[in-house]
């Protein structure tokens, strides 16, 4: 369970998050949606203790994120920011191997090697394992980074716009993999730009706007013209497509 | 001079500052000098005419020349943070003189000067050519490249000098110092003043260059010719300064930046101001160097290394972050 | 470790041995024992400098997550030189000269440690644009170098040699009186960096991913920066400032082993450093007949590498 209580954040005088409180139950895939500047990424990086908390409290699985030793938290929660631009010359296998760092401090045990191999396989990266990350295409790199995060084998996965740089096919592939991971018992929180991806794959959607939580609920509850208008500031049609709501946000 | 006349109160203040610094420069130094002694003591008059006056004029001319050269260079490279001295111009000018000294020891001063100018021209052309190819999204890359480029040329210079036992000469060129300036040894700096005047004469066309190649050609300008003219001005000023008084860092950076913040980037307007600011800065630092450990002196290159680097950092981080 | 990496490391070690043998053995004349002892001391100093420069550069590049940054380019060695002159200034030339050199070294290193952390931690935490950071580092270097020169002038107005001596590293005349303490500091610092090699691999990913993987980024960065500062103090104290040597050594080593994994890169960079310094010195001393020039040559080559890296990174 991720518990967020009265979290506010100001940066350079601007209010990024304004007294956000919400509780995300364990398990399932949660999508964070909202317009640019709503505070989605900031909220995610606060949960992942990538930024210090200014006010309020956040705990993941009962561990307060500002008081728990980094390593213990890293075995509970894995995070991937928007393309961190890996600067160093690494092979795909080495990169994914870093996911095991919290467990073995860099010296991979046979057990770690097995996890890495399985994760590479799971993300169709085995044929690429000896390639340098910098030689990969954007989509392949994104997959490798997500594989690293998954190899961390944590109960909680936080992903900031994981679909960035991915074409339609890989975006769909990734959402299906995330869905499978969630079905296997992991808790996933992802910032998503496309409400329809959220509607199709998420168990629940949290909508933010101007640093406040506007709505939270199952996709069917959120995907209404009224709520989407309240979130994004314009009216869009929502149609029913074989039992799934779909927003015609581009029309 | 319309631009200057319109801003006359500020202009007057600037000229007054320069005059004050100049009179300080005339009467500050190891030997004691005062107005009273000047009229009575012939030795004092000799000191004044042979050393103090040339020194003061040299600082004014070099400072003004370097500041305008810096302004022109910034226009050519289309980057606010470059200057001729530290971006290879100074080092290559010294390389040129060194080469002539080695190959033709009996060469006259004008020949050496020509060699220095040619070397500086080659180095500056290469620098501007590379600077134009660096991505415009990263403007700070250009000065960084310039500083490293200058350092590489500098180590080539040191190596050559060291192999030929001329390190002491090179040391004089590298470290700007006005203490050795005497009557008869600085007059070439008037050429730098002429180059400055040339820059002012061509100011309108040079300013168009800052719009870039395409826009310049579109406006009917002979881009290549103007580029050459600008580079020649920059190189000649660098070369003359290095061979007469040595490298003086950062004047070409600090003075134009201060000026363009106030009056804008049009060279017609900025050139006289930059000359004034550069002259004041150089003269002020020279006087400061003489006062710091009176009666001994700290060379102006060292003083400006401190003052200029600090000012550079202020330009980078200070209020109103400058966009290059 | 991949086979290729093992081969490269082994050949580098071989080359380093050859360089050492050449340095010690070429043109030995006169009193053998005396000459060997003299050369041995200088060899030790060169090896210490090579290792210190390599380890500090690799560490600094990793902490700052940038391959063009080196402590020297960021002005750290100029900072050390400034600390040195500041001490002279504070104590007076006489008081300074009468101090025990080891005590001086300790004082200077501490001063530098404090200044380095005070300067670079805010820079790192602000996560500013790399070019801005580089540029300000270079300018800071100029500032500290000029300040040192100015201070020297103020302490001893007739000084000329001192300034000149400070502008280029001298691998010929090393400070043998500092060898013991420098050796101890280097060994301790390098051992600490070696222990952190896996953490360094993770840090190279950047601050956010490293935090995500459970590393206390701030604490690691502070510790590693302090180690870097110590190592720079060692090399600067022994031979004087070397701006581009570290960049050159690490760039060559990285090309050769083709990985950024620190378990491989650290020894490779140290070995490349030994080959270049010891081999270069042997070559210049006995082959080309000029002993003082290694510093200048290395600066020239390193500067060219820096320009090349700068342009190629910019083109990406």
Domain boundary among A148, A178, A196: A148
Do A58 and A125 have their domain in common?
A: no
Q: A98 to chain C: which residues are within 8 Å by CB?
A: 201-202, 205, 209, 213
Q: C248 to chain B: which residues are within 8 Å by CB?
A: none
Q: Is the pLDDT of residue B283 over 50?
A: yes
pLDDT tens per residue across span A12-24: 788 899 999 999 9
What lies within 8 Å, CB to CB, of C132 at 6+ separation is B140, B316
Asked whether B60 and B18 are in contact (CB, 8 A), the reply is: yes
Closest-CA distance, B11 to chain C, in angstroms, reads 31
Do A111 and A182 have their domain in common?
A: no
Better-predicted residue by pLDDT, B250 or A105? B250
Token pair for residue A15?
A: 């209010």
Q: C258 to chain A: which residues are within 8 Å by CB?
A: 89
Separation CA A132–CA A73 (nearest Å): 29
Burial of B167 (0-12, 13-18, 19+ CB in 10 A): middle
Separation CA B250–CA B67 (nearest Å): 9
Q: Name the pairing type of β-strands A63-64 and A237-241.
A: unpaired
The closest of B145, B20, B70, B181 to C68, measured between CA atoms, is B145
Separation CA B89–CA A37 (nearest Å): 47
B32 phi/psi in degrees, rounded to 5: -75, 135
Domain boundary among A132, A148, A164: A148
Asked whether A231 and A33 are in contact (CB, 8 A), the reply is: yes
Separation CA C272–CA C301 (nearest Å): 14
Q: Using the 8-state DSSP alphabet, how is residue A14 labeled? A: E
Subunit contact B141:C314, Cβ cutoff 8 A: yes
Closest-CA distance, C67 to chain B, in angstroms, reads 15
Q: Is residue A234 part of a domain?
A: no
| DSSP H stretches of helix in C258-293 | 262-274, 280-282
Token pair for residue C133?
A: 């950071």
pLDDT tens per residue across span A199-219: 999 999 999 999 999 999 999
Which residue's structure tokens are 């399985």?
A118
Q: Is residue A251 part of a domain?
A: no
3-state secondary structure of A160: strand
Do A65 and A181 have their domain in common?
A: yes
Mean pLDDT of B209-221: 75
Q: C65 to chain A: which residues are within 8 Å by CB?
A: 87-88
Which residue's structure tokens are 């009917």?
B220
- How many Å is the Cα radius of gyration of chain A? 18
Q: Is the pLDDT of residue A42 over 50?
A: yes
Do A164 and A58 have their domain in common?
A: yes
* pLDDT for position C13: 94
Out of B143, B149, B163, closest to residue C135 by CB:
B143
pLDDT tens per residue across span A144-182: 888 989 998 899 999 999 988 788 888 998 999 999 999
**Is the CB of B41 inside 8 Å of chain C's CB atoms?**
no
Strands (E), A34-82: 55-60, 63-64, 77-80
3-state secondary structure of A93: helix
Q: C198 to chain A: which residues are within 8 Å by CB?
A: 101, 105-107
Looking at chain A, the whole-number percentage of residues with pLDDT higher than 90 is: 51
Closest-CA distance, A81 to chain C, in angstroms, reads 7
Mean pLDDT of B16-29: 82
Domain containing residue A181: CATH number = 3.40.50.300
HEC string of chain B equals CHHHHHCHHHHHHHHHHHHHHHHHHHHCCCCCCCHHHHHHCHHHHHHHHHHHHHHHHHHHHHHHHHHHHHHHHHHHHCCCCCCCHHHHHHHHHHHHHHHHHHHCCCCCHHHHHHHHHHHHHHHHHHHHHHHHHCCCCCCCHHHHHHHHHHHHHHHHHHHHHHHCCCHHHHHHHHCCCCCCCCCCCCCCHHHHHHHHHHHHHCHHHHHHHCCCHHHHHHCCCCHHHHHHHHHHHHHHHHHHHHHHCCCCCCHHHHHHHHHHHHHCCCHHHHHHHHHHHHHHHHHHHHHHHHHHCCCCCCCHHHHHHHHHHHHHHHHHHCCCCCCC
Mutate which of A88, A95, A96, A154 to disrupt the C interface (most C C-beta within 10 Å)?
A88
* Residues pairing with A212 in the sheet: A209
Please state, as a whole number, how many other Cβ atoms lie within 10 Å of the Cβ of residue C168: 24
Closest-CA distance, C109 to chain A, in angstroms, reads 30
Sign, CA dihedral C54-C116-C310-C283, equals: negative
- Nearest residue of chain C to residue A151 (CA atoms): C213
Sign, CA dihedral B9-B58-B126-B324, equals: negative
Q: Is the pLDDT of residue C164 over 50?
A: no
**Is the CB of C215 inside 8 Å of chain A's CB atoms?**
yes
3-state secondary structure of A181: helix
Do A72 and A158 have their domain in common?
A: yes
Q: A70 to chain C: which residues are within 8 Å by CB?
A: 211, 214-216
The closest of B94, B127, B126, B125 to B239, measured between CA atoms, is B94
Residues found in chain C: 316
Q: Is residue A183 part of a domain?
A: yes
Separation CA C280–CA C270 (nearest Å): 15
Q: Is the pLDDT of residue C221 over 70?
A: yes
Q: Is the pLDDT of residue C295 over 80?
A: no
Asked whether C234 and C52 are in contact (CB, 8 A), the reply is: yes
* Residues pairing with B27 in the sheet: none
Number of cross-chain residue pairs from A and C with Cβ atoms under 8 Å apart? 87
Chains near A with 3+ CB pairs less than 8 A apart are C
Q: Is residue A225 part of a domain?
A: no
Out of C146, C244, C314, closest to residue B302 by CB:
C146
Q: Is residue A238 part of a domain?
A: no
Q: How confident is the model at residue B324 (pLDDT cuts 50, 70, 90)?
A: very low
Subunit contact B155:C303, Cβ cutoff 8 A: yes
Closest-CA distance, A104 to chain C, in angstroms, reads 10
Separation CA A163–CA C245 (nearest Å): 42
Asked whether B250 and C138 are in contact (CB, 8 A), the reply is: no
**Range of the structural domain that residue A119 is part of:** 86-148
The closest of A57, A50, A49 to A8, measured between CA atoms, is A57
Better-predicted residue by pLDDT, B217 or A8? A8
Q: Is the pLDDT of residue B150 over 50?
A: yes
Subunit contact B141:C153, Cβ cutoff 8 A: no
Better-predicted residue by pLDDT, B1 or C276? C276
In whole numbers, what is the pLDDT of chain B averaged over residues? 82
**Is the CB of B143 inside 8 Å of chain C's CB atoms?**
yes
Q: Structural domain tally of chain A? A: 2
Q: A73 to chain C: which residues are within 8 Å by CB?
A: 214
Asked whether A33 and A192 are in contact (CB, 8 A), the reply is: yes
Chains B/A: 3 or more C-beta pairs closer than 8 A? no
* pLDDT for position B321: 44
| Count helices and strands in chain C by DSSP H and E runs | 14, 0
Task: Give contacts of B 170-199 with C, CB under 8 A.
Answer: 171, 175
* pLDDT for position A191: 94
**Is the CB of C213 inside 8 Å of chain A's CB atoms?**
yes
C203 phi/psi in degrees, rounded to 5: -60, -30
Token pair for residue A158?
A: 């936080």
Q: C216 to chain A: which residues are within 8 Å by CB?
A: 69-70
- CA torsion C276-C269-C78-C114 (nearest 10°) is -150
Q: Give kind and range of the element (H or E) at residue C124.
A: helix C101-125
Q: Can you list the domains of chain C with their CATH numbers?
A: 3-9+46-315 (1.10.3470.10)
Please state, as a whole number, how many other Cβ atoms lie within 10 Å of the Cβ of residue B228: 13
Q: Is residue A55 part of a domain?
A: yes
| DSSP H stretches of helix in chain A | 40-47, 70-74, 92-97, 101-104, 110-122, 138-151, 168-183, 195-201, 219-222, 225-232
Q: Supply the DSSP string of C4-32, one letter for each residue.
A: HHHHHHHHHHHHHHHHHHHHHHTT--S-H
**Quick check: bond before A235 cis, omega within 30?**
no
Q: Can you list the domains of chain B with their CATH numbers?
A: 2-317 (1.10.3470.10)
Domain boundary among A106, A130, A148: A148
Q: How confident is the model at residue C165 (pLDDT cuts 50, 70, 90)?
A: very low
Mean pLDDT of B275-303: 86
CA angle B92, B94, B99 (to 5 degrees): 95
Q: Using the 8-state DSSP alphabet, how is residue A167 labeled? A: -
Q: Is residue A222 part of a domain?
A: no
* pLDDT for position B97: 87
SS3 content of chain C, % helix, strand, coil (to 5): 80, 0, 20
* Residues pairing with A160 in the sheet: A191
What's the half-sphere exposure (Cβ side, CA atoms, 13 Å) at A116? Answer: 22
Do A93 and A181 have their domain in common?
A: no
* Residues pairing with C216 in the sheet: none
What's the half-sphere exposure (Cβ side, CA atoms, 13 Å) at C87? Answer: 21
Asked whether B152 and B86 are in contact (CB, 8 A), the reply is: no
Q: Is the pLDDT of residue C303 over 60?
A: yes
Do A23 and A139 have their domain in common?
A: no
* Residues pairing with A91 in the sheet: A132
Asked whether C211 and A149 are in contact (CB, 8 A), the reply is: no
Do A119 and A164 have their domain in common?
A: no
Q: Is residue A246 part of a domain?
A: no
Better-predicted residue by pLDDT, A119 or B317? A119
* pLDDT for position C162: 44
Q: Name the pairing type of β-strands A55-60 and A28-33.
A: unpaired
Do A68 and A2 have their domain in common?
A: yes
Q: B306 to chain C: which residues are within 8 Å by CB?
A: 143, 146-147, 150
Out of C135, C296, C307, closest to residue B155 by CB:
C296
Mean pLDDT of B135-142: 76
Q: Supply the DSSP string of C98-123, one letter for each residue.
A: TS-HHHHHHHHHHHHHHHHHHHHHHH
Do A19 and A131 have their domain in common?
A: no
What lies within 8 Å, CB to CB, of B324 at 6+ separation is B79, B80, B81, B139, B140, B142, B143
Q: Name the pairing type of β-strands A244-248 and A187-191.
A: unpaired
**Is the CB of B108 inside 8 Å of chain C's CB atoms?**
no
Q: Is the pLDDT of residue B118 over 60?
A: yes
Do A161 and A130 have their domain in common?
A: no
3-state secondary structure of A162: coil
């Amino acid at each position: 369970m991720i518990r967020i209580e009265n979290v506010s954040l100001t940066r350079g005088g601007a209010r990024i998050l304004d007294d956000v409180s919400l509780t995300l139950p364990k398990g399932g895939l949660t999508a964070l949606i909202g317009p640019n500047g709503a505070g989605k990424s900031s909220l995610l990086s606060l949960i992942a203790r990538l930024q210090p908390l200014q006010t309020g409290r956040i705990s993941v699985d009962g561990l307060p994120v500002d008081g728990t030793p980094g390593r213990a938290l890293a075995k509970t929660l894995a995070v991937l920011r928007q393309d961190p631009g890996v600067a160093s010359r690494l092979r795909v296998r080495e990169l994914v191997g870093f996911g095991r760092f919290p467990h073995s401090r860099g010296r991979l045990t046979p057990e770690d090697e097995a996890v890495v191999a399985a994760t590479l396989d799971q993300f169709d990266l085995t044929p690429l394992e000896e390639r340098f990350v910098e030689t990969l295409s954007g989509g392949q790199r994104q997959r490798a980074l997500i594989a690293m995060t998954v190899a961390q084998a944590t109960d909680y996965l936080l992903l900031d716009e994981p679909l960035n740089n991915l074409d339609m096919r890989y975006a769909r592939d990734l959402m299906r993999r995330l869905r499978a991971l969630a079905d296997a018992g992991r808790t996933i929180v992802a910032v998503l730009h496309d409400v329809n991806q959220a509607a199709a794959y998420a168990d629940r959607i949290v909508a933010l706007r101007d640093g406040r939580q506007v709505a939270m609920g199952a996709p069917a509850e959120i995907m209404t013209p009224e709520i989407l208008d309240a979130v994004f500031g314009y009216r869009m049609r929502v149609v029913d497509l074989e039992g799934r709501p779909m927003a015609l946000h581009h029309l | 001079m319309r631009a200057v006349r319109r801003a006359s109160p500020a202009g007057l203040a600037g000229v007054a500052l320069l005059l004050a610094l100049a009179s300080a420069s005339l009467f500050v130094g190891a030997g004691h000098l005062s107005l009273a002694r000047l009229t009575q003591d012939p030795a004092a008059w000799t000191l004044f005419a042979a050393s103090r006056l040339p020194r003061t004029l040299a600082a004014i001319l070099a400072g003004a020349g370097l500041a305008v050269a810096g302004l022109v260079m910034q226009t050519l490279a289309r980057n606010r943070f470059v200057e001729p001295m530290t971006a290879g111009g100074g080092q290559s000018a010294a390389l040129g003189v060194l080469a002539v000294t080695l190959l033709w020891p009996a060469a006259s001063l004008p020949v050496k000067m020509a060699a220095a100018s040619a070397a500086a021209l080659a180095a500056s052309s290469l620098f501007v050519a590379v600077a134009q190819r660096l991505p415009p999204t990263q403007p700070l890359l250009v000065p960084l490249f310039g500083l490293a480029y200058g350092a590489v040329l500098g180590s080539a210079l040191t190596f050559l000098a060291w192999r030929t036992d001329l390190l002491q000469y090179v040391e004089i060129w590298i470290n700007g110092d006005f203490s050795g300036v005497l009557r008869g040894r600085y007059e070439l700096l008037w050429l730098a003043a002429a180059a400055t005047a040339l820059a002012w004469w061509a100011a309108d066309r040079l300013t168009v260059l800052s719009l870039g190649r395409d826009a310049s050609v579109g406006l009917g300008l002979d881009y290549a010719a103007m580029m050459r003219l600008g580079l020649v001005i920059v190189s000649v000023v660098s070369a003359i300064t290095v061979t007469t008084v040595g490298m003086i860092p950062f004047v070409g950076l600090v003075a134009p930046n201060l000026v363009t913040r106030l009056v804008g980037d049009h060279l017609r307007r900025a050139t006289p101001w930059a000359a004034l600011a550069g002259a004041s800065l150089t003269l002020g630092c020279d006087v400061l160097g003489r006062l710091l450990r009176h009666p001994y002196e700290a060379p102006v290159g060292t003083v400006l290394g401190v003052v200029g680097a600090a000012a550079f950092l202020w330009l980078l981080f200070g209020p109103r972050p400058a966009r290059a | 470790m991949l086979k290729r990496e093992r081969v490269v490391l082994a050949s580098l070690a071989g080359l380093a041995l050859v360089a050492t043998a050449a340095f010690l053995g070429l043109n030995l004349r006169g009193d053998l024992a005396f000459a060997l002892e003299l050369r041995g001391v200088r060899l030790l100093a060169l090896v210490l400098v090579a290792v210190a420069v390599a380890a500090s550069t690799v560490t600094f590049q990793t902490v700052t997550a940038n391959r063009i940054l080196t402590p020297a380019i960021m002005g750290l060695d100029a900072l050390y030189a400034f600390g040195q002159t500041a001490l002279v200034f504070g104590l007076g030339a006489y008081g300074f000269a009468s101090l025990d050199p080891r005590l001086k070294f300790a004082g200077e290193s501490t001063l530098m440690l404090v200044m380095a952390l005070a300067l670079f931690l805010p820079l790192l935490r602000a996560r500013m644009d790399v070019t801005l950071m580089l540029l300000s580092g270079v300018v800071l270097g100029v500032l500290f170098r000029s300040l040192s020169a100015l201070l020297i002038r103020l302490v001893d107005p007739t000084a000329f040699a001192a300034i000149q001596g400070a502008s280029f590293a001298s691998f010929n005349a090393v400070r043998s009186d500092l060898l013991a303490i420098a050796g101890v500091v280097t060994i301790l610092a390098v051992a600490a960096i070696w222990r952190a090699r896996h953490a360094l691999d993770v840090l190279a990913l950047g601050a956010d991913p490293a935090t995500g993987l459970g590393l206390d980024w701030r604490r690691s960065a502070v510790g590693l920066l302090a180690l870097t500062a110590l190592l720079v103090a060692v090399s600067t104290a022994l031979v004087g400032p070397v701006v581009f040597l570290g960049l050159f050594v690490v760039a060559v080593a990285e090309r050769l082993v083709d990985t950024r994994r620190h378990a491989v890169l650290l020894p490779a960079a140290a070995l490349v450093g030994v080959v270049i310094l010891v081999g270069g010195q042997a070559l210049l001393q006995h082959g080309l007949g000029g002993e003082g020039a290694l510093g200048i040559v290395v600066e020239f080559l390193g500067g060219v590498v820096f320009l090349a890296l700068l342009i190629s990174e910019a083109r990406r």
